[in-house]
């Protein structure tokens, strides 16, 4: 009876290895917490950019503009200028993701990422994010530098449902 539940240590180690391989491999390239990028769209390709939107970031902890309208399917190039004297960033995400990430940033303020949905911009510099808004809805963005989000450094992209006119298609405004 007793030894029915005995597992050989090597067999156990092997089983654990197999169990862990899948999730660990999937987590590569994501932040802790496993952000689902598909909820906010997907990284855009420069060749598919249909519109450029300029955004200014200031030490007043504001984005100008802070609300942007987009159409589902659009690929937008955000040209983001830091006109302040401290580092700022723009991170796209759901509010939940941004808050989670912000908590991490408070613990590790020097944490920097190479992530298509965000850009960190040094004072006086300009950065860019190219994003395809493949999902309709409200997509938030925020500066996750410690203190900045709390101070109101946030904004949103309102993505209207429906097809954006394809690039180079002059008939985009024709509606049935
Ligand atoms: Cu900031």
R_g over Cα of the chain: 21
Asked whether residue 155 is assigned to any structural domain, the reply reads yes
Query: What is the 164 CA–ligand 1 centroid distance (Å)?
Result: 31
Asked whether residue 6 is assigned to any structural domain, the reply reads no
Asked whether residue 87 is assigned to any structural domain, the reply reads yes
Q: What is the pLDDT of residues 84-135, one digit of tens each?
A: 999 999 999 999 999 999 998 888 877 777 899 999 999 999 999 999 999 9
Query: What is the 33 CA–ligand 1 centroid distance (Å)?
Result: 23
pTM of this prediction exceeds 0.85: no
User: What integer pLDDT is reported at residue 109 of this predicted model?
Assistant: 75
Query: What is the 163 CA–ligand 1 centroid distance (Å)?
Result: 33
The count of structural domains within the chain is: 1
Whichever domain contains 51, its CATH number is 2.60.40.420
Q: What is the pLDDT of residues 156-166, one digit of tens each?
A: 999 999 875 55
Asked whether residue 30 is assigned to any structural domain, the reply reads no
Asked whether residue 24 is assigned to any structural domain, the reply reads no
Asked whether residue 26 is assigned to any structural domain, the reply reads no
Query: What is the 96 CA–ligand 1 centroid distance (Å)?
Result: 18
Asked whether residue 54 is assigned to any structural domain, the reply reads yes
Query: What is the 107 CA–ligand 1 centroid distance (Å)?
Result: 16
Q: What is the pLDDT of residues 54-67, one digit of tens each?
A: 999 999 999 999 99
Q: In this prediction, what percent of the chain has a pLDDT beyond 90?
A: 62
Q: Which domain holds residue 94?
A: 37-160
Asked whether residue 2 is assigned to any structural domain, the reply reads no
Query: What is the 89 CA–ligand 1 centroid distance (Å)?
Result: 6
The answer to whether 70 and 156 have CB atoms below 8 angstroms apart is no
The per-residue b/e assignment along 68-87, b for 16 or more CB within 10 angstroms, e otherwise, is bebbbbbbbbbebbbbbeeb
Q: In this prediction, what percent of the chain has a pLDDT beyond 70?
A: 71
Query: What is the 78 CA–ligand 1 centroid distance (Å)?
Result: 16
Q: Which residues contact 75 (CB under 8 A, 6 or more apart)?
A: 44, 45, 48, 49, 50, 51, 130, 131, 132, 133
Query: What is the 20 CA–ligand 1 centroid distance (Å)?
Result: 37
């Amino acid at each position: 009876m007793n030894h029915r539940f005995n597992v050989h240590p090597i067999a156990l180690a092997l089983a654990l290895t197999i169990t862990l391989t899948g999730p660990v491999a999937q987590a590569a390239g994501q932040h802790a917490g496993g952000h689902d990028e598909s909820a906010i769209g997907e990284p855009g390709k420069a060749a598919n950019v249909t519109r450029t939107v300029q955004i200014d970031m200031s030490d007043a902890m504001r984005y100008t503009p802070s609300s942007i309208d987009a159409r589902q399917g659009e690929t937008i190039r955000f040209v983001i200028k830091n006109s302040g004297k401290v580092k700022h960033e723009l991170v796209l995400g759901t509010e939940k993701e941004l808050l989670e990430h912000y908590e991490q940033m408070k613990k590790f303020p020097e944490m920097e990422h190479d992530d298509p949905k965000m850009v960190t911009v040094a004072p006086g510099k300009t950065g860019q994010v190219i994003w395809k808004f493949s999902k309709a809805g409200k997509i938030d963005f925020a500066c996750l530098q410690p203190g900045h989000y709390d101070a109101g450094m946030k904004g949103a992209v309102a993505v209207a449902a429906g097809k954006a006119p394809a690039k180079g298609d002059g008939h985009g405004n024709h509606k049935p």
